[in-house]
Amino acid sequence: MAVYFIPKTKLISRATNNFRPKQWTSKWTIIRRPFSQSQQQYHQQNSNSTNAKNQNTRKGGWLSWQGAILRWTPLGICIIAAAHWHLHKRECERRGLPKTATAWQTNVYCSLPLRLMSRCWGWLADREVPEILRPSIFGIYSSSFGVNLEEAVVSDLKYYRSLSEFFTRSIKEECRTIASDCVVSPCDGRVLHCGIVTNETHLEQVKGVTYSLESFLGPKWKKDTSSSASYIENLKQNQEGTNLYHCVIYLAPGDYHRFHSPTSWKPNIRRHFHGELLSVNPKIANLVPGLFCINERAAYIGEWEHGFFSFTAVGATNVGSVQVFIDQDLKTNRWRGLKVGTMREKDFDELAMNNDIFLNKGELLGQFNMGSTIVLVFEAPSSFRFNLSPNQGVKVGQSLGCIYDNDNDSGMESEE
């Protein structure tokens, strides 16, 4: 039994300030409480706190199975991935190689549901925007990505029904002049790389990061070529006095999204490669080797006055679709289920183009529904020189290069 000595004043309700009971003469009163009752309350409180801790553990604390799976495991994976990436960068620095992603890191990137996200973005971009909200939404987009509205044929933002219509807006003809040089820029954008194709397995998408020409354009397509000939020899129509050249141009989200014919040429076949939809941003292109061979793309292969010529439109993340006006059968960004990470760069459809199709220089060819990349691979005489350098901005119709009579009059040529 526990005995407590408590002042009488603590047991009296303070209804009034002067209230004092007369029947209590002593200063202290004694309250007897069984000790067993206090012990029971102590054990009950202790058990309640233990149950609360056990309940928190069962709910997914750090020491529970749920906490180990949902908290410790992701943390451990992130630490291991960060350590592996740090060691990989040190190894690249030691060997003098660019700091690119490893094969498993590329596979993890390809396993993301980027096609589903791109299809959702394409659906959203095609929804009609209320007219009252169009100036605000399109204005924010223009300010964020530096869109020049003065060049648009229609500068009134209320005119565009959806984001997709705003992306693919047409511009005034006087805003772009088609140069007289033999090859001009097919689009507005930034040159990632350009130069001579010296090795069919080492074309540079950006400085130091390469991709394979055969994986990019597909297998040999000439039936009258011997099997012993190299891939470059198979593409070239003139074996002497000519070289293969390539140029990679990146279209940013704020650029003019339509693309034109870079020269006068005739497309013979179209190959649609069903690849992934990874981002083609220059930062990603610096990390993922063979990015253009992994992504979905439409390659138009034909000829011009100097031999072989190809024009390839590369798809990317959030590109709702790639439209080519001379090819109504082309359907990009198609739904293929929840299969991700397949990297089917060798899976393609081939279509023979109509014989009466001929593209003139500067002719409108197609459009992207978001920023992407265009790759030109063509044959030209050895005296051909590029008039630009990597990371230079270009506009539609601006000269990319031309054939010079002597090397003294040549322009700038990028180094491989």
Which residues are catalytic, by number?
188, 260, 372
113: Cβ–Cβ under 8 A, 6 or more apart, which residues? 338, 340
Task: Compute the distance between CA of residue 265 and CA of residue 304 in angstroms, rounded to an integer.
Answer: 4
Number of residues in the chain? 416
DSSP SS3 for 266: strand
DSSP secondary structure of 55-92: HHHHTT-TTSHHHIIIIIHHHHHHHHHHHHHHHHHHHH
Task: Compute the distance between CA of residue 342 and CA of residue 340 in angstroms, rounded to an integer.
Answer: 6
Task: Compute the distance between CA of residue 244 and CA of residue 246 in angstroms, rounded to an integer.
Answer: 7
Beta bridge pairs of residue 32: 3
77: Cβ–Cβ under 8 A, 6 or more apart, which residues? none
Task: Compute the distance between CA of residue 403 and CA of residue 241 in angstroms, rounded to an integer.
Answer: 12
Residue pair 181/411 in contact by the 8 Å Cβ criterion? no
201: Cβ–Cβ under 8 A, 6 or more apart, which residues? 210, 212, 213, 214
